[in-house]
Amino acid sequence: MRNLNFDSSRWKLLNNIMVGIFSLYGIAIQNYNVDETSYFQKLMIEMLTPIQQGTTSIKEKVFYTFDHYVNIVNTSKENVVLKDSVVKLKNKIFTLEEVQRENERLKSLLEFGREIPRKKVLAQVVSWDSSNEFKVLRINKGSLHGLTEMSPVITMTGLVGYVYRLSDNYADILTILDQNNRVDSIVVRTRTHGIVEGISGFTCQLKYVSRTETLELGDEIITAGLGEIYPKGIKIGKISKIDKENFGITQKIEITPSVDFHKLEEVVVLIEDQVVAKSIDMKDKK
């Protein structure tokens, strides 16, 4: 019985070895034959390959165009933002430069006329009264700032006029261009006295000057200091035209004001010290 079992086991082992040998031999001699491409397959390759190439090219172009468009849109947005920033910066620089120019003008106004024994109040021109042919202007200071009626108004270049109407925070100035504003004046070179009055446009005239006075074009006119309005020595203007009429005893003299009223922005109001103190007390009480 044992011999039978032993023979059966040897047979199985021998059988497995033989199967393994044949399997390895089959793998070793196996050939991978490549089938020959048929005519139909060649035709399909020739027909479809250009289409595939075109599709790939179109796909690449679409992606490139899309990316390019996105880049352009983003760049355009960035340009808009940058332009807006540049405009804001330019406006800011312009504002700062304008503030600097204004500060320089105000500083010059404060330093101007130190020899005049009066307090000075800086004010800005806020409007012109067009109904009076630009002969009346309004400033942004009033009685609360110490201004009173008949207070003289000047600039660095010369005489502007005087305060003739007041409110708490504003004042109207009757300029020397108005016919109702009469200024006692002197011709600096000859010390000739006369009265300066406004005429049409932005010019004035020097009245009541004798024909015997030898005045010249360019002669400078200043305030005479007579009366209780204007201090002496403030520039009024220069003689720009002289007409000695054949009749009468006076000359017709035209004056160009020292102040350029077209460009007037800030002025100085001259007030008495006691008026300032009284105004401050009233303001504190309010």
Range 129-133 average pLDDT: 63
Strands 235-243 and 192-198: unpaired
Q: Which of the two residues, 71 and 237, has the higher pLDDT score?
A: 237
Q: Which helix (H) or strand (E) element contains residue 99?
A: helix 39-111
Mean pLDDT of 12-19: 67
Question: What range does the domain containing 42 cover?
Answer: 38-111
Look over the chain and give the mean of its residue pLDDT values, rounded to a whole number.
77
Q: What's the whole-number mean pLDDT along residues 58-87? A: 71
Distance (Å, whole) CA 125 – CA 262: 11
Among 111, 140, 159, the domain-final residue is 111
Same domain for 169 and 216, yes or no, is yes
- Last residue of a domain, which of 83, 111, 139? 111
**Contact assessment for residue 196 and residue 221, using Cβ atoms and an 8 Å cutoff:** yes
pLDDT of residue 240 exceeding 70, the answer is yes
pLDDT of residue 277: 44
Do 140 and 188 lie in one domain? The reply is yes
For residues 235 and 160, is the Cβ–Cβ distance under 8 A? no
Q: 192-236: per-residue pLDDT in tens?
A: 999 999 987 789 999 999 888 999 999 999 999 887 789 888 999
Same-domain status, 152 and 182: yes
Predicted local confidence at residue 77, as pLDDT: 73
Cα separation, 152 vs 268, whole angstroms:
8
Last residue of a domain, one of 54, 85, 111: 111
Average pLDDT over residues 242-247: 77
Residues 68 and 199 in one domain: no
57 and 124 in a single domain? The answer is no
Residue 5 lies in a domain: no
Q: What would the pLDDT profile of 50-59 be if each residue is shown by its tens digit?
A: 666 666 666 6
pLDDT over 90 at 183, yes or no: yes
Domain of 217, CATH number, reads 2.40.10.340
In a domain, 253, yes or no: yes
Question: Which of 84-98, 110-124, 238-252: highest mean pLDDT?
Answer: 238-252
pTM of the model: 0.61
How high is the pLDDT of residue 255?
A: 95
One domain for residues 80 and 132: no
* 156 and 57 inside one domain: no
Q: State the DSSP H helix or E strand holding residue 139, giving kind and residue range, or none if neither.
A: strand 136-139
Identify which has the larger pLDDT, 166 or 97: 166
| Reported confidence tier of residue 28, pLDDT bands at 50, 70, 90 | low
Most confident of 28-37, 71-80, 159-168, 276-285: 159-168
